[in-house]
Every structure is written in C-alpha cells, then in structure tokens.
C-alpha cells in the first residue's frame, strides 16, 4: 500500500475502538493514513489515539482553527480510498441521502476516491428495513459496503452487526486499491514442499515454507485473478478467497494439478516437489538395528515436465521455478527448454536472504526466447507482484 493515501472516517459506535487497530495496520502496510471523526466518535475514542497511530492531525470539527477552509473538499479528492468504520445507522442514512452536516459527511459528498463502508450496530438496527434500504442505495451507487459480521455484540445481543475484523477491512482495502489488472485471469499456483512417508513416524521432505507460492497466490487474487492454490504441507495461513487444495505427496500434487490444469490461463509451479520417494512405505515403525540402514528411493513424476508436454494441446502459460545452488542460469535455462516453459524463475537457494524459508528473495527471470531479467533483492510479496506483471505482459502478447 506504499504511495496510497487512505482516509479513515470514524463515526459514533462502540466498535470505534477496533478502528485504532485498522489504522495501525494501514500505517504498517505503508499507506499514508489520515483520520476524520464525527463528534460522536470522539466520545468513544479520543482523536489523540488516532493521531498517535497515524502520525497525522485528526479532524473532528470543521471549524477548528487548524482545519483549512477547503480540507472537507480536498481530503476526499487527494485520497485513493476512504474507509468509513464503523459506519453507524445514522451515518449510513446521511450518506444515502446526501446529508452534509459535518466534516466527515461533507468530505464523503465531495469525495472522488473509492469508498469502503463498514457498518456496525445493534442487530435489530442492522436488520431494520430503513438501514438495509440505505445500504442497498449505497451499493447501487458504487460504494463498496461490507456485510456486518455475526456474533456477540457490545450491546449484549447476538447476531449480525459486528464490525468486520480490522484484518478483513485491510484486505478489502487492498482489493479496492489494486488496479484489478488480472481480473478474469485464472491462475493455478503450486506452493510448499511435498512430503513422502518412510514409515508411520518418519518422512522425507525439503525446506520449502510455501512463502513464495502463497505470496504469488495472494498477490494474484488481490489483483483480481481467480486463483487456485495447490499447497503441500505448510504452517502458513492461506490467502483469503482462493480455492485451496491441500496435498501431501508428489502423486497427490500431480493428481490435484491434473484435475484442474485445463481450467487455467496460467500455471505457476513454485512448489518444491520431491524428485524421489521411498520405494515402499513401511507400515510399522522401522526398528533400530546394528549397522547402517539404506533407503531405496524411486523417482516421482515430474509434474512440470508433464504439464509442458500437455501444453501442446492446451492454451496456458507455463511458469516454472528453478532452485539451484550452482550454475544457476545454465541449469535454469535447461529446465526451461526441457519442460517446455514460457518463463522460468531462477532462484539461487544457497544465499541466506533468498530461496527457502526467507521473507525475501532474489530471482532471475529467463524467458522462452532467451531474454533475461534480473530482479533486485525484495520481499517475496514484491517479487510476486513483479513476476505477475511479467506474466501479464506475456499473456497479453500471446492472446
Ligand atoms: O517455499 P519457500 O520457502 O518460500 O521457498 C521458495 C522456493 C525456493 C521453494 C521457490 O522459490 C522455488 O524455487 N521453487 C521451486 C523449487 C524446485 O523444486 O525447484 P527444481 O529446480 O527442483 O524444480 C524445477 C521446477 O519443476 C519447479 O517449478 C518444480 O515445481 C517443478 N517440479 C520439480 C520436480 C518434480 N518432480 N515435479 C515438478 O513439477
């Protein structure tokens, strides 16, 4: 959210206290965040709280000497997004009926930024037809109104009326701020390691955490793509709004990929797939004996290579990764050719700041025509965004 400007409009509901966390999250994501409050909101949380969290002056009164005469117009026009949280029944009514009675409501009337509305109120208020009609009006006018969540409410009742969690509001803000440039594209991502059992207590696997693949899946769905994520065992929280299929072994991953590969425009194989598995899984714990043991390993299917062969009769872009500790470019180029890929992401996994388990990555991209591009060291989220930009360009060229 770097370089994005967000206004958070706080109105007078008890859930205002949760919005402090939202402001903290927005600031942490790099958004320049300003807060405007209604007079009633200041009864629940002080402007000082938001000022400390956002690092910017909070406006709660249009007539304060520090408020510039045109702030109520310019704030909503300079911003990329205005988030109203919590949005009370009263404020929804003002928005729906064009009432500009204070700084925040006039800001909304003049705003050209996208507007995200997060209602929160008593369950009976929320289900009141007047409130629901106002929500409908706002949606019809292009405002994005989140559904209030179900649960225990501060007023002591249960039901729909809770403010969505700050992380969910943040996520929806990211979706609205994204350009949606992958909208309509269907992307299949594989992530994480595969794992093969030796006996009921032992297994072989590798050091993949899934971070790179999950970052790709998350970035793609934020940009509007329809994402299927096939994941080996990881401890990561899966991205929201993706079709998630968890697998364990290489054969399971192959089966999951081949069950849906034809429904996709792009396939990105970021998973670290085991090349070998034990010939036989022993069904009891192998006992320790005198002398050494050896493990008889057999090859697993190369899923990417099979996708490369199947591509001859289908119409998808195929992107592979190459995890290498030596001869990075020549090994990656050979994999690109052998597996019939459109693009390969060469990953030097011998570095401490790149490859397996790290939060950053350093990759080189090799295209089918031999062209090469080196990306600088970045977070895996940034690498994902850059790769998706290149993939989009390839896709546009091909279609
Ligand atoms: O998960 P992280 O901790 O974030 O780490 C990220 C990563 C290092 C795993 C990732 O960036 C990466 O490099 N993924 C590919 C790892 C790998 O298996 O590379 P490889 O060179 O062995 O395989 C080449 C390609 O063939 C890969 O796209 C792989 O998914 C695919 N493959 C490999 C073997 C096999 N049997 N089937 C396959 O499909």
**Does 227 share its domain with 131?**
no
Q: pTM value?
A: 0.90
pLDDT at 155 exceeding the cut of 80: no
What domain range is 146 assigned to?
Answer: 5-177
What is the pLDDT, as a whole number, of residue 312?
84
Structurally, how many domains does the chain consist of? 2
Q: Under the phi-then-psi rule, with left for phi > 0, alpha for psi from -120 to 50, and beta for the rest, what region is 81?
A: beta
**Does 228 share its domain with 367?**
yes
Show Cβ contacts of residue 284 under 8 Å, excluding neighbours closer than 6 positions.
Answer: 199, 200
Give me the mean pLDDT over the 226-235 stretch: 98
Residue 244 lies in a domain: yes
Q: Which residues line ligand 1 (CB under 6 A)?
A: 192, 208-212, 250, 269-273, 275, 300, 302-304, 320-323, 335, 347, 349, 355-357
Q: Cis omega before residue 156 (within 30°)?
A: no
**Does 237 share its domain with 327?**
yes
Check which CATH number belongs to the domain holding 348 and give it: 3.40.50.10300
**Does 34 share its domain with 168?**
yes
Q: How many CB atoms lie within 10 A of CB 43?
A: 11
Q: Under the phi-then-psi rule, with left for phi > 0, alpha for psi from -120 to 50, and beta for the rest, what region is 174?
A: alpha
**Does 154 share its domain with 193?**
no
Show Cβ contacts of residue 152 under 8 Å, excluding neighbours closer than 6 positions.
Answer: 158, 162
Residue ending a domain, among 177, 211, 245, is 177
Quickly state the pLDDT bin for 152 (edges 50, 70, 90).
Answer: confident
305 Cα to the center of ligand 1, angstroms:
12
**Does 148 share its domain with 210?**
no
What is the pLDDT, as a whole number, of residue 314?
86
**Does 394 share its domain with 264?**
yes
296 Cα to the center of ligand 1, angstroms:
23
Is 391 in a helix, a strand, or coil?
helix
Check which CATH number belongs to the domain holding 51 and give it: 3.40.50.1950
**Does 157 share its domain with 194?**
no
**Does 146 share its domain with 39?**
yes
Show Cβ contacts of residue 335 under 8 Å, excluding neighbours closer than 6 positions.
Answer: 320, 322, 341, 344
Residue from 204, 252, 258, 272 to probe ligand 1 pocket by mutation (most atoms less than 8 Å from CB): 272
**Does 331 share its domain with 367?**
yes
pLDDT at 180 exceeding the cut of 80: yes
Quickly state the pLDDT bin for 322 (edges 50, 70, 90).
Answer: very high
**Does 302 share its domain with 191?**
yes
271 Cα to the center of ligand 1, angstroms:
5
**Does 108 share its domain with 234?**
no
């Amino acid at each position: 959210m770097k370089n994005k400007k967000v206004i958070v409009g706080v109105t007078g509901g008890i859930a205002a206290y949760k919005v402090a966390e939202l402001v903290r999250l927005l600031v942490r994501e790099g958004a320049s965040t300003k807060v405007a409050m209604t007079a009633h909101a200041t009864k629940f949380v002080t402007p000082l709280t938001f000022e400390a969290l956002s690092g910017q002056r909070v406006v709660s009164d249009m007539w304060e000497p520090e408020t510039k005469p045109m702030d109520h117009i310019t704030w909503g026009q300079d911003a990329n997004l205005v988030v109203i949280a919590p949005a009370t029944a009263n404020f929804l009514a003002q928005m729906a009926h064009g009432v500009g009675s204070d700084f925040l409501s006039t800001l909304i009337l003049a705003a050209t930024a996208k507007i995200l509305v997060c209602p929160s109120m008593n369950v009976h208020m929320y289900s009141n037809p007047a409130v629901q009609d106002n929500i409908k009006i706002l949606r019809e006018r292009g405002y994005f109104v989140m559904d209030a969540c179900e649960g225990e409410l501060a007023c002591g009742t249960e039901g729909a009326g809770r403010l969505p969690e700050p992380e969910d509001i943040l996520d929806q803000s990211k979706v609205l701020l994204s350009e949606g440039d992958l909208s309509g594209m269907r992307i299949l991502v594989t992530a994480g390691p595969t794992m093969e059992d030796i006996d009921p207590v032992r297994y072989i696997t590798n050091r993949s955490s899934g971070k790179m693949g999950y970052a790709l899946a998350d970035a793609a769905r934020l940009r509007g793509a329809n994402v299927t994520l096939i994941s080996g065992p990881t401890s990561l929280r899966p991205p929201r709004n993706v079709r998630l299929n968890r697998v364990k072994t290489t054969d399971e991953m192959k089966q999951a990929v081949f069950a849906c590969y034809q429904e996709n425009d792009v396939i990105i194989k970021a998973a670290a797939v085991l090349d070998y598995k034990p010939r036989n899984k022993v069904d009891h714990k192998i006992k320790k004996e005198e002398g050494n043991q050896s493990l008889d390993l057999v090859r697993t299917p190369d899923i990417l290579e099979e996708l490369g062969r199947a591509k001859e009769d289908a119409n998808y872009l195929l992107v592979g990764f190459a995890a290498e500790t030596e001869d990075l470019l020549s090994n990656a180029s050979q994999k690109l050719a052998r597996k019939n890929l459109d693009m390969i992401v060469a990953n030097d996994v011998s570095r401490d700041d790149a490859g397996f388990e790290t939060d950053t990555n350093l990759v080189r991209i090799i295209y089918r025509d031999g062209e090469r591009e080196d990306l600088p060291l970045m977070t895996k989220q940034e690498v994902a965004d850059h790769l998706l930009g290149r993939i989009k360009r390839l896709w546009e060229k091909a279609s």
